[in-house]
Chains A and B, each alone.
Chain A
Amino acid sequence: MREQGVDITPGTLFDAEEMVINMGPQHPSTHGVLRVILKLDGETVKDLDCDIGYLHRGVEKIAEHDTYAMITPYWDRLDYVAAVSNDLCYVGGVEKLLGIEVPRRAEYLRVALTELQRIASHLLWLGTHAIDIGAVTVLLYAFREREEILKIFEDFIGARLTAHAFRIGGLWWDAYPEFEKRVRDFLKILPGRIDEYETLLNANRIWLSRTVGIGVLPADEAINLSLTGPVLRGSGVKYDLRRAQPYSVYPEFDFEIPIGENGDTYDRYLVRMAEIRQSIIIIEQALDGLPEGPVMAKVPKVIKPPVGEVYFGIEAPKGEIGVYLVSDGTTKPYRMRIRPPAFINLQSLRRLSIGHLVADVVALIGTIDIVLGEVDR
């Protein structure tokens, strides 16, 4: 680092022990607008700091001026690659506040859509993570499968990315006639496709040397950093809100929670691939048990929850996303606080990176799976 008043001569420049450089905010591997300030000794990372806030829109403040129904579309824009999961969190929170019982058919469809979204989010993560490390083909293959999911979403919800999937009290649309067949057809081909990704990556020596032993995070440290989601489970902690704090109809489904052993980048990759396979099992069960009936509960036209406060958290693809709502009895929330998974997981980047090379920082940002829309909110 250049001290104030030190002249730069070839001598001072090249003898300097440490150098501070910026990675981002317009770096393709920072997944959005994240600025990482690196202190380097040669290629080795000595220290690291993240500068966030480039995408700050003040969603929590906006929510104080909007009615409860109006806030849902803003949630799509937090973690915009998993909009459906975000919607489930918010509408679940409002329903808990109102004490509304959602029809069972709506709950089953919600679970099916949310798990599809988890697959889509993990596929996007896989593609971008692989391309960061240098495997371009996987991106193309993963996007091909993700496209199928987005088409199912478009037919069901009416939008591909910023879905606005759920309404308070249920769903706006019931499933379209071929929905079940489309999803089943897709689930039939998906395991083979996951095998294809694993053919390309699992034993690939470049992939292995870039991920095995990189960014090892022991379980106790992961817990201390309050990490959630695949980053925590990759370190071997069996914590998943779908089991630990069941919501919706998850207790009725049979599925496993995959965990890693070593807590390195490779294990986090394996955990996410195993989660995709578990999601397939959940969706199949949801479609098998899909009850008949309405998809919308009786909800008053003007939503006016009683005075009170509520916290509702769900297991989003990236970890625990939660909403804390305070109602003062009017049509607008008094306060809405978002518990963002990626924002909290991002703080582990410093711990993971120190001692590794600059090129590994790219892999480590990828392995945490951040979306800046949600980090900055």
Chain B
Amino acid sequence: MPRVKSTADRRTLGEVIKRLLLFDLFKGLFLTFSYNWRALYEKRDGGNPNQAIYTEQYPLEAARVSERFRGAPRLNLDPESGQTLCIACDLCALACPVDCIEVGSIRREVREGEKVNKKKVLTTFIFDTSRCMFCNLCSEACPTDCLELTQSFELAVYHRSGFRWDREMLEKGIDYVRYSK
């Protein structure tokens, strides 16, 4: 049974002498100063685990966002026809735990080649980003890969109404901040 090192080890003569000479204090200070020294003389280096400066210089440089990050929503368009991929099936709205999606659709006759079919067509799509918790359940429910959570994360707006994204905004995406670095 492994027992963690405990009080008894600290009562030996060697330990007492170390304590008298402020050994503990200098050991800690030495560690901190070694970091300070390296931070002064070393460059920040992304891949090196022993780098001394860790802070991301975010507003000055683009933040590091991973590929799977779940951020601002987007409605994807068919790359060929430019039409929306959404089939107005409402599955995303049903999957959402906090009801932040509203899908509006009408039944309309759609010409497909020769035939004319009655089909559900997407009219409006409202996504409330203020209530969304970016859990990805809606995007996982979508059968056509239309709704997607993207890597963009700068969602701050000046007015509350800005949190309600309409279809146009979801298809276009928000204006990205451009970083020089």
Contacts and interface: CB of A to CB of B under 8 A. Distances in A.
A257 B4 CA distance: 10
Contacts of B3: 258-261
Interface string A255-280: 01111111000110011011000000
B141 to A, nearest CB: 9
- Say which size band chain A's interface belongs to: 35 or more
A73 B137 contact: yes
Contacts of A70: 95-97, 137
A267 B68 contact: no
A73 B50 CA distance: 35
Q: Interface residues of A: mostly helix, strand, loop or mixed?
A: helix
Interface string A134-177: 00010000001001100100111111001010010000110010
Contacts of B136: 158, 164, 172
Nearest to A173: B68
A274 B2 CA distance: 10
Interface string A108-152: 000000000000000000000000000001000000100110010
The interface centre, meaning the residue of B19, B66, B70 with most chain A CB atoms within 10 A of its CB, is: B66
Contacts of A159: 69-70, 134
A238 interface: yes
A73 B100 CA distance: 15
Contacts of A176: 67-68
Given A66-B97, A208-B10, 15 more contacts: A73-B133, A74-B97, A151-B64, A158-B70, A158-B149, A159-B70, A162-B133, A172-B136, A200-B28, A203-B18, A204-B24, A204-B25, A259-B1, A259-B3, A274-B2
Interface of B: 1-7, 10, 15, 18-19, 23-25, 27-28, 31-32, 49-50, 54, 64-70, 95-97, 133-137, 140, 149
